[in-house]
Structures are given as C-alpha cells and as structure tokens.
Amino acid sequence: MKEKLTFLGIETSCDETAASVVQEKADGTGKILSNVVSSQIKEHKEFGGVVPEIAARAHVEKIEFIIKKALKESNLDLNNINGISATAGPGLIVCLTVGLNAGKAIAGSLKKPFIAVNHLEGHALSPKINNKIQFPYLLLLISGGHTQFLEVRGVNNYKQLGTTIDDALGEAFDKTAKLLGIEFPGGPKIEEWAKKGNENYFKLPKPILKKGGCNLSFAGLKTAVLRTSKKLKNQKEKYHLAASFQKTINEILYEKTKIAMKEFLKNKKDKQKTFVIAGGVAANLSIRDNLSKLAKENKFASIFPPTNLCSDNAAMIAWAGIERYKINLIDNLEFLSRSRWPLDSSAPFLKGPGLKL
C-alpha cells in the first residue's frame, strides 16, 4: 500500500503565525489534520496597518507554540511527518525569515525533505485540497497584496494573463474601510456596511475597464472614494459609499474576468473550463456570487476554497509542499526568503506611472 504523504506547513509571510499538518488521501485530495492560525490584529490595530517589525517580533514569540499546537491537534509527532514546507516569499522579509528558519531547523535536525513554498502557489493549489481538479485551470488570485489572473498549467507552471498595475484589490478594500472610519482590518466590514446602503447612490470610476486586456487598476477608484468620503454627511451615506464601492468592484471583476476567460480558452477549445477564485478577498460573498454567476453564463465550473483557506494559512503551504515533493522539487537549507517572487517569472512587471496598456 502506498504511504500517505504527510507534511508540516509553516506560514509567516505577513501578520499571521500559522502551522498545519496535511495528509494526502488515496484519491489525490488532502486531509487537513490541523490548521492553527494566530492573528495579530490587536498588535497592529492602533497603527491602522501591519508594522513589519512588530509582526516579526510576534512571530518569534509564537512560532514554537503554534507548531507544537498543530502537531498536537494532528495526533502526530515529527517522526510521522514526511517533509516540512515553509513560505519563503513573497512577503515581508523580516516576517518570512522567522517561519522559513523554523522550517529549515526542523527539517535539518530530523534530516527530512524541506520545501520552500511560494505563498502565491499555496493559494493557487489550495482548492485541490478539497477538490479533484485537473490542470490547466483559470485562477483569479485576489488578496491584500496580489490581484492577478493566471493560467495554472501544473505545479510550478504558471502563465500570467493579467495583473493589477497599481493597488491590490484587498488593499483597495482596506483603504476604503479606513476612509469610512472602519478599524483595521476593515475589508471584511465593507461587505456588512454595503448591505445597509444603496449601491447606486454614488457613481464611481472603473479604471482601464475597456483597455489593457484583463489587467486591472484600482488606484483611480481609491482616489474617487477619498474625494467622496470628504463630502459624506451622515452614517447612511457611509453605507451608500460602501455599497457603491463594492458594486463598482464587482462590475470591474465581471468585465475583466470575462476577458480572462476568453484569453484562457484562446486556441484551446478542448480545455476543461474550470475557474478557481482564491486569496483573502475570495471570502467576500458578494464577489463570490458575482463571479459564480459569470462562470455559469460562460459555462465554467467555479471553485472557491473554504473561507478558512482563503486568508493566509499554513494548510495551503503544507499542501503545496506535498505537490512539489511529488515531482521532486526539493530545496536545500540555504534557500533565502524573497520579498518579490512572481509565479510567472517571464511576465512583465506592470507597476508604476507611464504604463501603456
């Protein structure tokens, strides 16, 4: 009988200290034996955003406890683990280093295989924990730091179809929340406020909607929200702005995803039409409904990871470790953390002024 691969995953790319034990099942999907996430919302609340040095210090204080807790909850010890995977980038270097070094130390001391995981690949492969999905599939990755359309051709094989040329979608949500006076992290609260407002009350811009293929831009929308927020007269108008902002985002995603779907299918009509939406913002139910509707219209099967696997977590890192290990992508203990680490290294870097789309 084939041995079940079991990996310990460690994630410290930003402000979550996380560890997880995941086991591969006979059908090729995964079983999450433990998934421990310790958030740092209290530590960063007064600053209105993540402070790297504070985040790194919190990781150092918690990492050993979180790993031990993940192992205890899995009812396994390190001798039962086949390999260790840890996020090596992209992210905040001072934070990444904590988890990466912990993973290296465990792997080195036990002489176990070590896998340095790209955080974005963790998101990209996370739906495969619970779903039998065949490559290739179309991925929309929407998080606090990243917004991009990718063709997922296989493990370690990605083609970028489009990306944000300025702000990430999660960042736009958080900045809008801050302008409305919502405490950090405010993105999820926008969805609550939007339910209480009139989505047609404010007309907001949709930058590069009719140009740039499936590349996206949110900076102009953010500026419009800033200007509008200064004229708000009462709480009800704040709800209206939250609703109008969310509606505008949904309209942008609807149009740009339609273009990405055409790009994905170009010259390859026999492709499986699978559309995966991952990353922290994929937990937004309004966005889920909008993109599910679009997928249905275009005869794509839409797949979302469970909400606990949308935000930063170590289960997706453990799973990416298993997937990479199976094709012999094992790293040495000298692997260094990276603040930037695109999944498609050949894709042009599309950020900054003066871009021609």
Backbone angles phi, psi at 332, to 5 degrees: -90, 170
Q: What is the mean pLDDT of residues 169-175?
A: 93
Question: How many angstroms separate the CA atoms of 238 and 18, rounded?
Answer: 35
Contact by Cβ (8 Å): 156, 326: no
137-304: CATH homologous superfamily? Answer: ATPase, nucleotide binding domain (3.30.420.40)
- Crossing angle, helix 235-265 and helix 219-229, to 10 degrees? 170
In the chain, where are the structural domains located?
6-129+309-326, 137-304
Residue type, 238: K
For the chain, what is the mean pLDDT?
92
Place of tokens 């871009």: 355
Which residues are CB-contacts of 288 (< 8 A; sequence separation ≥ 6)? 277, 282, 304
Question: How many angstroms separate the CA atoms of 105 and 226, rounded?
Answer: 46
Radius of gyration of the chain (CA): 20
- What global pTM score does this model have? 0.92
Place of tokens 């099942």: 25
Question: How many angstroms separate the CA atoms of 316 and 165, rounded?
Answer: 26
Q: What is the mean pLDDT of residues 46-63?
A: 77
**Closest residue by Cα to residue 173 from 120, 223, 246:** 246
**Closest residue by Cα to residue 344 from 153, 96, 143:** 153
Instruction: Establish how many alpha carbons lie within 13 A of residue 259's alpha carbon, considering only the half-sphere containing its beta carbon.
Output: 19
How would you write 175-239 as a 3-class SS string? HHHHHCCCCCCCHHHHHHHHCCCCCCCCCCCCCCCCCCCCCECCHHHHHHHHHHHCCCCCHHHHH
Sheet bearing 6-11, strands edge to edge: 30-39, 16-24, 6-11, 83-89, 114-118
Q: What is the pLDDT of residues 98-154, one digit of tens each?
A: 999 999 999 999 999 999 999 999 999 999 999 999 999 999 999 888 999 999 999
Backbone angles phi, psi at 155, to 5 degrees: -65, 130
Q: What is the pLDDT of residues 74-99, one digit of tens each?
A: 999 999 999 999 999 999 999 999 99
More confident call, 246 vs 42: 246
More confident call, 39 vs 62: 62
Count of beta carbons in the 10 Å neighbourhood of residue 356: 5
State the DSSP H helix or E strand holding residue 263, giving kind and residue range, or none if neither.
Answer: helix 235-265
6-129+309-326 CATH fold: Nucleotidyltransferase; domain 5 (3.30.420)
Question: How many angstroms separate the CA atoms of 297 and 312, rounded?
Answer: 30
Question: How many angstroms separate the CA atoms of 282 and 239, rounded?
Answer: 21
With bands split at pLDDT 50, 70 and 90, how would you rate the model's confidence at 1? very low
